[in-house]
Amino acid sequence: MTEAKASTAIAPMPPLSRREFMNYAWLASLGFVFVVGFGGATYFFSFPRFKVGEFGGIFPLGKAGEALPAPEDPPIHNLEGKFWLVNVNGMIVALYDICVHLGCLYEWQPVSARFECPCHGSKYTKDGTYVEGPAPRSLDRMAVAFTDASGKVVAPADPNAKPIKIPADKELNVIVDTGKQVSGDPHG
C-alpha cells in the first residue's frame, strides 16, 4: 500500500533556472508596460485638455470695442482659432473656417461680399448661410460670449451658436469657444 501512495504522489518541481526566471521577468515587465501605456493613452485621449488660445479651447479676443469688426467691415480671420469673426447688423458670429463640403479652406471675397470655397465653388453669405454649390449645409459655427473684467459671463453664447447681439458696453471681453461647434443648417 505504501508503493501505491508513492507512485501517485506528485513529484516536486525542479527549481527555476536563471534563463526561465529572466524570461518570466521580461514577460511580466512587457505586460506591465503595455497595461500602463494603454491605460495612460486611453486616459489622455478620453479627457482632452485644451489650453486657452489653442484650437479646441477658449479664445479670448479682447475688448468688444477693439476686437470686433464693424457691420460694414469684412470678416476677421483668426488663423490660430480656425474661425472667421463676422459682424452682421450688430450681431456677432464665429464661423469655422473649414468648408462643410470636403474640408477646404474657404475665403472671404470682398467683390461679391460672400464666402467662397476655391475647391468646388460652394458659396455662403456673410453670416455663413448656404447660397450655392455642392455643400450639404450652411457653415458650422462656434459659440461666442461676452464676459466682464472678472471673467463672469455677461452675455452667454447661444446654445445653437446663432449670432449673438453685441452688448452696448464696449469694455466687455469677447470669447470664442472653439470646442463648441454647431453644424450649419441643412439646405433643402
Q: Are residues 34 and 118 in the same domain?
A: no
Confirm whether 31 is domain-assigned.
yes
SS3 (DSSP) at 15: coil
| Higher-pLDDT residue of 63, 157 | 63
Separation CA 31–CA 187 (nearest Å)? 53
Confirm whether 52 is domain-assigned.
no
> What pLDDT, in 10s, does the model give residues 7-31?
567 878 788 888 888 888 898 888 8
Confirm whether 5 is domain-assigned.
no
Say what the pTM is: 0.68
Confirm whether 4 is domain-assigned.
no
Is residue 141 within 8 Å of 100, Cβ to Cβ? Answer: no
> What pLDDT, in 10s, does the model give residues 147-177?
888 888 877 777 777 788 888 888 888 888 8
Kindly report the backbone phi and psi dihedral angles of residue 114, in degrees, each rounded to the nearest multiple of 5, phi listed first: -155, 170
Separation CA 178–CA 144 (nearest Å)? 9
pLDDT number for residue 33: 85
pLDDT of residue 135 exceeding 60, the answer is: yes
pLDDT number for residue 11: 77
CATH number at residue 141: 2.102.10.10
Residue with cell 458650422: 140
> What pLDDT, in 10s, does the model give residues 98-126?
888 888 888 999 999 899 998 888 999 88
Q: How much is the mean pLDDT over the chain?
A: 82
Q: Are residues 82 and 36 in the same domain?
A: no
pLDDT number for residue 5: 56
> For residue 32, what are the domain limits?
15-47
Q: Are residues 130 and 160 in the same domain?
A: yes
Retrieve residue 14's grid coordinates.
525542479
Q: Are residues 26 and 119 in the same domain?
A: no
Domain count, the chain: 2
Q: Are residues 104 and 75 in the same domain?
A: yes
Confirm whether 1 is domain-assigned.
no
